[in-house]
Chains A and B, each alone.
Chain A
Amino acid sequence: MSFRILIIDDEPALMTALRDYLEQRGFICECVAEVAEAQALLANVQFDAVLTDIYISPLQEADGLRVLSFIRERALDVRLVVMTAHSTPELKAEALRLGAAVVLQKPTSLAVLADALTRIAEVPA
Protein backbone atom coordinates (compact mmCIF):
# COMPACT_ATOMS: atom_id res chain seq x y z
CA MET A 1 0.00 0.00 0.00
CA SER A 2 1.32 3.48 -0.78
CA PHE A 3 -1.46 5.49 0.84
CA ARG A 4 -0.02 8.88 1.70
CA ILE A 5 -1.34 10.76 4.72
CA LEU A 6 -0.72 14.29 5.92
CA ILE A 7 -1.12 14.50 9.71
CA ILE A 8 -1.79 17.98 11.12
CA ASP A 9 -1.68 18.45 14.88
CA ASP A 10 0.06 20.69 17.38
CA GLU A 11 0.91 17.86 19.80
CA PRO A 12 4.32 16.52 18.74
CA ALA A 13 4.08 13.42 20.93
CA LEU A 14 0.72 12.47 19.44
CA MET A 15 1.94 13.08 15.90
CA THR A 16 5.03 10.97 16.41
CA ALA A 17 3.06 8.11 17.97
CA LEU A 18 0.47 8.31 15.21
CA ARG A 19 3.06 8.38 12.46
CA ASP A 20 4.96 5.42 13.88
CA TYR A 21 1.76 3.43 14.34
CA LEU A 22 0.43 4.16 10.86
CA GLU A 23 3.75 3.58 9.13
CA GLN A 24 3.95 0.16 10.75
CA ARG A 25 0.65 -0.54 9.01
CA GLY A 26 1.95 0.47 5.61
CA PHE A 27 0.81 4.08 5.40
CA ILE A 28 3.22 6.82 4.34
CA CYS A 29 2.95 9.78 6.70
CA GLU A 30 4.09 13.37 6.80
CA CYS A 31 3.48 15.52 9.86
CA VAL A 32 3.05 19.26 10.27
CA ALA A 33 1.96 21.39 13.20
CA GLU A 34 0.90 24.55 11.41
CA VAL A 35 -1.89 25.48 9.00
CA ALA A 36 0.33 27.45 6.59
CA GLU A 37 2.79 24.62 6.32
CA ALA A 38 -0.04 22.17 5.68
CA GLN A 39 -1.46 24.42 2.97
CA ALA A 40 1.94 24.86 1.30
CA LEU A 41 2.39 21.09 1.26
CA LEU A 42 -1.12 20.36 0.02
CA ALA A 43 -0.63 22.86 -2.80
CA ASN A 44 2.43 21.01 -4.03
CA VAL A 45 2.31 17.37 -2.93
CA GLN A 46 -0.37 14.79 -3.65
CA PHE A 47 -1.78 13.15 -0.51
CA ASP A 48 -4.46 10.48 -0.36
CA ALA A 49 -5.78 11.60 3.01
CA VAL A 50 -5.46 14.36 5.56
CA LEU A 51 -5.85 13.66 9.26
CA THR A 52 -6.26 16.96 11.03
CA ASP A 53 -7.08 18.31 14.44
CA ILE A 54 -9.65 21.12 14.44
CA TYR A 55 -7.68 23.22 16.90
CA ILE A 56 -4.15 23.29 15.54
CA SER A 57 -2.69 26.53 16.77
CA PRO A 58 -2.40 27.55 20.42
CA LEU A 59 -4.67 30.51 19.68
CA GLN A 60 -7.71 28.24 20.13
CA GLU A 61 -9.14 29.14 16.76
CA ALA A 62 -10.80 26.32 14.86
CA ASP A 63 -8.07 26.62 12.25
CA GLY A 64 -8.27 22.99 11.17
CA LEU A 65 -11.39 24.08 9.31
CA ARG A 66 -9.20 26.45 7.27
CA VAL A 67 -7.31 23.42 6.00
CA LEU A 68 -10.60 21.82 5.00
CA SER A 69 -11.69 25.00 3.23
CA PHE A 70 -8.34 25.21 1.43
CA ILE A 71 -8.77 21.64 0.16
CA ARG A 72 -12.34 22.33 -0.90
CA GLU A 73 -11.51 25.60 -2.71
CA ARG A 74 -8.81 23.88 -4.71
CA ALA A 75 -10.91 20.78 -5.32
CA LEU A 76 -8.01 18.63 -4.15
CA ASP A 77 -8.63 14.93 -4.49
CA VAL A 78 -7.94 13.99 -0.89
CA ARG A 79 -9.98 12.27 1.82
CA LEU A 80 -10.40 13.97 5.16
CA VAL A 81 -10.44 12.63 8.68
CA VAL A 82 -10.97 15.17 11.44
CA MET A 83 -10.27 14.69 15.12
CA THR A 84 -11.01 17.04 17.97
CA ALA A 85 -11.17 17.16 21.72
CA HIS A 86 -13.67 20.02 21.63
CA SER A 87 -16.37 18.84 19.33
CA THR A 88 -19.70 20.62 19.21
CA PRO A 89 -22.58 19.71 16.91
CA GLU A 90 -21.92 22.94 14.98
CA LEU A 91 -18.21 22.22 14.50
CA LYS A 92 -18.91 18.66 13.48
CA ALA A 93 -21.55 19.80 10.99
CA GLU A 94 -19.17 22.39 9.56
CA ALA A 95 -16.37 19.83 9.21
CA LEU A 96 -18.72 17.46 7.41
CA ARG A 97 -20.00 20.27 5.19
CA LEU A 98 -16.39 21.06 4.24
CA GLY A 99 -15.82 17.50 3.15
CA ALA A 100 -14.73 15.50 6.20
CA ALA A 101 -15.45 11.81 5.77
CA VAL A 102 -15.17 11.12 9.50
CA VAL A 103 -15.07 13.28 12.63
CA LEU A 104 -13.48 11.50 15.59
CA GLN A 105 -13.65 12.55 19.21
CA LYS A 106 -10.30 12.90 21.04
CA PRO A 107 -8.98 11.14 22.97
CA THR A 108 -9.21 8.19 20.70
CA SER A 109 -7.02 5.16 20.36
CA LEU A 110 -4.43 4.81 17.62
CA ALA A 111 -6.24 1.65 16.56
CA VAL A 112 -9.49 3.58 15.98
CA LEU A 113 -7.69 6.21 13.92
CA ALA A 114 -5.86 3.59 11.89
CA ASP A 115 -9.12 1.75 11.37
CA ALA A 116 -10.82 4.91 10.09
CA LEU A 117 -7.95 5.55 7.69
CA THR A 118 -7.90 1.95 6.53
CA ARG A 119 -11.62 2.11 5.78
CA ILE A 120 -11.38 5.32 3.72
CA ALA A 121 -8.29 3.96 1.96
CA GLU A 122 -10.41 1.08 0.74
CA VAL A 123 -13.06 3.37 -0.72
CA PRO A 124 -12.30 4.78 -4.17
CA ALA A 125 -11.75 8.56 -4.01
Chain B
Amino acid sequence: MISEKLGLLLNGEQLSTVFQPIFDISSPACEIWGLEALTRGPAGTHFERASVLFDYIRLKQEEVAADRCCIAAAFAARQRLLPQSLPRLTLNVHAGTLERDRTFPAYVEKTASDYGIDTRDLVVEIIEQSTYFDSTHLIRALDDLRSLGVRISIDDLGLGHGNYRLILDAHPDYLKLDRYFIHGCADDRRRRALIESVQHIGVSLDCAVIAEGVERMEDLLTLRAMNISLIQGFLLAIPGAPPALDVPAEVRALLNREEAVGVGRRN
Protein backbone atom coordinates (compact mmCIF):
# COMPACT_ATOMS: atom_id res chain seq x y z
CA MET B 1 0.00 0.00 0.00
CA ILE B 2 1.26 3.42 -0.92
CA SER B 3 2.41 5.52 2.06
CA GLU B 4 0.29 8.44 3.19
CA LYS B 5 3.05 10.90 2.42
CA LEU B 6 3.61 9.57 -1.08
CA GLY B 7 -0.13 9.45 -1.66
CA LEU B 8 -0.37 13.14 -0.82
CA LEU B 9 2.65 13.88 -2.96
CA LEU B 10 1.25 12.10 -5.98
CA ASN B 11 -2.10 13.77 -5.70
CA GLY B 12 -2.57 15.40 -9.09
CA GLU B 13 -2.91 18.84 -7.59
CA GLN B 14 0.42 18.55 -5.80
CA LEU B 15 2.43 17.83 -8.93
CA SER B 16 3.12 20.39 -11.59
CA THR B 17 4.48 19.98 -15.08
CA VAL B 18 6.90 22.12 -17.00
CA PHE B 19 7.78 21.56 -20.62
CA GLN B 20 11.14 21.78 -22.33
CA PRO B 21 11.18 21.96 -26.11
CA ILE B 22 13.27 19.80 -28.40
CA PHE B 23 14.16 21.59 -31.62
CA ASP B 24 15.06 20.30 -35.05
CA ILE B 25 18.01 22.38 -36.21
CA SER B 26 18.28 20.70 -39.60
CA SER B 27 16.39 23.54 -41.27
CA PRO B 28 17.07 27.29 -41.00
CA ALA B 29 13.78 27.78 -39.15
CA CYS B 30 14.90 25.47 -36.30
CA GLU B 31 11.35 24.31 -35.79
CA ILE B 32 10.06 22.79 -32.60
CA TRP B 33 10.06 18.99 -32.84
CA GLY B 34 8.49 18.13 -29.52
CA LEU B 35 8.13 19.00 -25.85
CA GLU B 36 9.34 16.93 -22.96
CA ALA B 37 7.00 16.92 -19.96
CA LEU B 38 8.98 17.33 -16.72
CA THR B 39 7.30 16.83 -13.35
CA ARG B 40 7.97 18.94 -10.28
CA GLY B 41 6.84 18.28 -6.73
CA PRO B 42 5.04 20.77 -4.51
CA ALA B 43 6.59 24.25 -4.51
CA GLY B 44 8.43 25.14 -1.34
CA THR B 45 9.16 21.50 -0.43
CA HIS B 46 12.22 19.30 -0.92
CA PHE B 47 10.33 17.59 -3.71
CA GLU B 48 10.15 20.65 -5.91
CA ARG B 49 13.53 19.46 -7.13
CA ALA B 50 12.78 16.67 -9.63
CA SER B 51 15.86 14.64 -8.74
CA VAL B 52 14.82 14.50 -5.06
CA LEU B 53 11.22 13.70 -5.98
CA PHE B 54 12.11 10.80 -8.24
CA ASP B 55 14.89 9.41 -6.07
CA TYR B 56 12.34 9.34 -3.24
CA ILE B 57 9.76 7.63 -5.45
CA ARG B 58 12.32 5.02 -6.51
CA LEU B 59 13.46 4.44 -2.93
CA LYS B 60 9.82 3.83 -2.04
CA GLN B 61 9.50 1.59 -5.14
CA GLU B 62 6.42 3.46 -6.28
CA GLU B 63 7.44 4.15 -9.87
CA VAL B 64 4.24 2.67 -11.29
CA ALA B 65 1.89 4.93 -9.33
CA ALA B 66 4.17 7.90 -9.87
CA ASP B 67 4.43 7.44 -13.64
CA ARG B 68 0.65 7.31 -13.95
CA CYS B 69 0.22 10.47 -11.87
CA CYS B 70 2.93 12.30 -13.80
CA ILE B 71 1.34 11.40 -17.11
CA ALA B 72 -2.09 12.60 -15.99
CA ALA B 73 -0.54 15.84 -14.72
CA ALA B 74 1.36 16.27 -18.00
CA PHE B 75 -1.74 15.77 -20.11
CA ALA B 76 -3.72 18.23 -17.99
CA ALA B 77 -0.94 20.82 -18.28
CA ARG B 78 -0.58 20.15 -22.01
CA GLN B 79 -4.27 20.83 -22.50
CA ARG B 80 -4.25 23.91 -20.28
CA LEU B 81 -1.01 25.60 -21.32
CA LEU B 82 -0.01 24.69 -24.83
CA PRO B 83 -1.46 25.31 -28.29
CA GLN B 84 -3.22 22.27 -29.74
CA SER B 85 -1.11 22.51 -32.88
CA LEU B 86 2.21 21.69 -31.21
CA PRO B 87 3.90 18.45 -32.25
CA ARG B 88 5.02 15.55 -30.09
CA LEU B 89 4.80 15.31 -26.34
CA THR B 90 7.49 13.15 -24.71
CA LEU B 91 6.79 11.41 -21.41
CA ASN B 92 9.28 9.84 -19.01
CA VAL B 93 8.36 6.32 -17.97
CA HIS B 94 10.40 3.92 -15.84
CA ALA B 95 11.36 0.61 -17.43
CA GLY B 96 10.00 -1.00 -14.27
CA THR B 97 6.57 0.48 -14.97
CA LEU B 98 6.52 -1.04 -18.44
CA GLU B 99 7.52 -4.34 -16.89
CA ARG B 100 5.14 -4.38 -13.94
CA ASP B 101 2.10 -2.29 -14.86
CA ARG B 102 0.19 -4.65 -17.13
CA THR B 103 -2.50 -2.09 -17.96
CA PHE B 104 -0.16 0.83 -18.58
CA PRO B 105 -0.83 1.11 -22.35
CA ALA B 106 -4.59 1.08 -21.73
CA TYR B 107 -4.10 3.76 -19.07
CA VAL B 108 -2.17 5.95 -21.52
CA GLU B 109 -4.84 5.47 -24.19
CA LYS B 110 -7.72 6.28 -21.84
CA THR B 111 -6.03 9.26 -20.20
CA ALA B 112 -4.91 10.73 -23.52
CA SER B 113 -8.48 10.40 -24.77
CA ASP B 114 -9.80 12.16 -21.66
CA TYR B 115 -7.60 15.15 -22.44
CA GLY B 116 -8.14 15.13 -26.20
CA ILE B 117 -4.57 14.09 -26.94
CA ASP B 118 -3.78 11.90 -29.95
CA THR B 119 -1.59 8.99 -28.85
CA ARG B 120 0.23 9.23 -32.19
CA ASP B 121 1.71 12.50 -30.89
CA LEU B 122 3.27 10.79 -27.88
CA VAL B 123 6.80 9.58 -27.31
CA VAL B 124 7.56 7.42 -24.28
CA GLU B 125 11.09 8.03 -22.99
CA ILE B 126 12.16 4.93 -21.11
CA ILE B 127 14.11 5.70 -17.94
CA GLU B 128 16.24 2.83 -16.71
CA GLN B 129 17.34 4.02 -13.27
CA SER B 130 17.22 0.48 -12.03
CA THR B 131 17.41 -2.63 -14.09
CA TYR B 132 14.32 -4.43 -15.29
CA PHE B 133 14.05 -8.18 -15.05
CA ASP B 134 11.33 -9.38 -17.36
CA SER B 135 11.92 -8.47 -21.00
CA THR B 136 8.74 -10.27 -22.04
CA HIS B 137 6.37 -7.92 -20.25
CA LEU B 138 8.38 -4.84 -21.15
CA ILE B 139 8.36 -5.78 -24.83
CA ARG B 140 4.63 -6.53 -24.74
CA ALA B 141 3.89 -3.15 -23.16
CA LEU B 142 5.98 -1.41 -25.82
CA ASP B 143 4.23 -3.34 -28.60
CA ASP B 144 0.87 -2.26 -27.17
CA LEU B 145 2.02 1.35 -27.02
CA ARG B 146 3.30 1.14 -30.58
CA SER B 147 -0.07 -0.16 -31.72
CA LEU B 148 -1.50 3.13 -30.38
CA GLY B 149 1.00 5.04 -32.50
CA VAL B 150 3.23 5.94 -29.55
CA ARG B 151 6.93 6.24 -30.39
CA ILE B 152 9.66 4.90 -28.14
CA SER B 153 12.81 6.64 -26.97
CA ILE B 154 15.57 5.52 -24.62
CA ASP B 155 16.43 8.23 -22.12
CA ASP B 156 19.88 8.78 -20.61
CA LEU B 157 21.51 6.22 -22.87
CA GLY B 158 24.84 5.14 -21.42
CA LEU B 159 24.15 6.43 -17.90
CA GLY B 160 23.44 4.20 -14.92
CA HIS B 161 21.46 1.22 -16.07
CA GLY B 162 20.59 2.84 -19.41
CA ASN B 163 22.31 0.24 -21.50
CA TYR B 164 22.47 -1.53 -24.82
CA ARG B 165 20.23 -4.37 -23.67
CA LEU B 166 17.34 -1.93 -23.80
CA ILE B 167 18.17 -1.05 -27.41
CA LEU B 168 17.71 -4.70 -28.30
CA ASP B 169 14.54 -5.13 -26.24
CA ALA B 170 12.79 -1.83 -26.88
CA HIS B 171 13.43 -1.30 -30.64
CA PRO B 172 13.48 2.43 -30.00
CA ASP B 173 12.68 5.13 -32.51
CA TYR B 174 14.96 7.57 -30.68
CA LEU B 175 18.13 7.42 -28.60
CA LYS B 176 18.58 10.25 -26.16
CA LEU B 177 22.05 11.22 -25.03
CA ASP B 178 22.39 12.73 -21.59
CA ARG B 179 23.98 16.07 -20.81
CA TYR B 180 26.91 14.19 -19.26
CA PHE B 181 28.05 13.15 -22.74
CA ILE B 182 27.00 16.34 -24.50
CA HIS B 183 28.34 19.13 -22.30
CA GLY B 184 31.83 20.00 -23.42
CA CYS B 185 31.82 17.72 -26.47
CA ALA B 186 33.32 20.47 -28.62
CA ASP B 187 36.51 20.30 -26.57
CA ASP B 188 36.66 16.60 -25.77
CA ARG B 189 37.43 13.92 -28.33
CA ARG B 190 36.31 11.17 -25.94
CA ARG B 191 32.85 12.66 -25.70
CA ARG B 192 32.74 13.09 -29.46
CA ALA B 193 33.81 9.48 -29.95
CA LEU B 194 30.98 8.24 -27.73
CA ILE B 195 28.43 10.50 -29.41
CA GLU B 196 29.60 9.32 -32.83
CA SER B 197 29.27 5.69 -31.77
CA VAL B 198 25.67 6.26 -30.67
CA GLN B 199 24.95 8.20 -33.85
CA HIS B 200 26.35 5.26 -35.81
CA ILE B 201 24.04 2.85 -33.96
CA GLY B 202 21.16 5.22 -34.65
CA VAL B 203 21.85 5.27 -38.37
CA SER B 204 22.20 1.47 -38.45
CA LEU B 205 18.98 0.89 -36.53
CA ASP B 206 16.91 3.73 -37.98
CA CYS B 207 16.75 5.65 -34.70
CA ALA B 208 17.21 9.39 -34.51
CA VAL B 209 19.58 10.65 -31.83
CA ILE B 210 18.40 13.42 -29.50
CA ALA B 211 21.05 15.45 -27.66
CA GLU B 212 19.95 16.93 -24.36
CA GLY B 213 21.70 19.33 -22.03
CA VAL B 214 23.05 21.54 -24.80
CA GLU B 215 24.20 24.73 -23.13
CA ARG B 216 27.08 25.99 -25.26
CA MET B 217 27.08 27.24 -28.83
CA GLU B 218 30.30 25.37 -29.63
CA ASP B 219 28.70 22.09 -28.49
CA LEU B 220 25.65 22.82 -30.65
CA LEU B 221 27.82 23.39 -33.71
CA THR B 222 29.78 20.22 -32.96
CA LEU B 223 26.57 18.19 -32.73
CA ARG B 224 25.32 19.62 -35.99
CA ALA B 225 28.63 18.72 -37.59
CA MET B 226 27.93 15.14 -36.46
CA ASN B 227 24.52 15.31 -38.18
CA ILE B 228 22.63 15.32 -34.89
CA SER B 229 19.75 17.68 -35.39
CA LEU B 230 17.30 17.02 -32.54
CA ILE B 231 18.50 19.29 -29.75
CA GLN B 232 17.30 20.09 -26.25
CA GLY B 233 18.99 22.31 -23.74
CA PHE B 234 19.14 25.60 -21.91
CA LEU B 235 20.93 27.23 -24.85
CA LEU B 236 17.73 26.84 -26.86
CA ALA B 237 14.99 26.94 -24.22
CA ILE B 238 14.67 26.39 -20.50
CA PRO B 239 11.74 24.35 -19.13
CA GLY B 240 8.65 26.43 -18.60
CA ALA B 241 4.93 26.39 -18.19
CA PRO B 242 4.57 27.35 -20.92
CA PRO B 243 8.12 27.39 -22.33
CA ALA B 244 9.51 29.53 -25.13
CA LEU B 245 8.57 27.84 -28.37
CA ASP B 246 11.23 29.38 -30.58
CA VAL B 247 15.00 29.11 -30.64
CA PRO B 248 16.51 32.43 -29.49
CA ALA B 249 17.06 34.66 -32.48
CA GLU B 250 20.80 35.02 -31.79
CA VAL B 251 21.31 31.25 -31.70
CA ARG B 252 19.34 30.76 -34.90
CA ALA B 253 21.24 33.58 -36.58
CA LEU B 254 24.56 32.07 -35.56
CA LEU B 255 23.53 28.62 -36.78
CA ASN B 256 22.43 30.03 -40.11
CA ARG B 257 25.59 32.13 -40.46
CA GLU B 258 27.80 29.12 -39.79
CA GLU B 259 25.72 27.13 -42.27
CA ALA B 260 26.12 29.84 -44.93
CA VAL B 261 29.92 29.80 -44.68
CA GLY B 262 29.96 26.02 -44.65
CA VAL B 263 31.11 25.57 -41.09
CA GLY B 264 29.65 23.13 -38.65
CA ARG B 265 28.23 20.44 -40.87
CA ARG B 266 29.94 17.27 -41.90
CA ASN B 267 28.59 14.84 -44.45
Q: Name A residues whose Cβ lies closer than 8 Å to a Cβ of B.
A: 30, 32, 34, 36-37, 39-41, 43-45
Contacts and interface: CB of A to CB of B under 8 A. Distances in A.
Interface stretch (B49-57, B176-184, B229-237): B49-57
Given A34-B5, A36-B60, A43 B46 contact: no
A44 B49 contact: yes
Interface residues of B, number: 10
Given A43-B51, A44-B51, A30 B56 contact: no
Contact of B59 (A30, A36, A45): A36
Contacts of A44: 49, 51-52, 55
- Which among A32, A40, A43, A44 has the greatest number of chain B C-beta atoms within 10 A? A40
Contacts of B60: 36
Interface of B: 5, 46, 49, 51-53, 55-56, 59-60
29 contacts: A30-B46, A32-B46, A34-B5, A36-B56, A36-B59, A36-B60, A37-B5, A37-B46, A37-B56, A39-B55, A39-B56, A39-B59, A40-B46, A40-B52, A40-B53, A40-B55, A40-B56, A40-B59, A41-B46, A41-B52, A43-B51, A43-B52, A43-B55, A44-B49, A44-B51, A44-B52, A44-B55, A45-B49, A45-B52
A9 to B, nearest CB: 15
Contacts of B55: 39-40, 43-44
A34 B52 CA distance: 13
Contacts of A45: 49, 52
A47 to B, nearest CB: 12
A36 B60 CA distance: 7
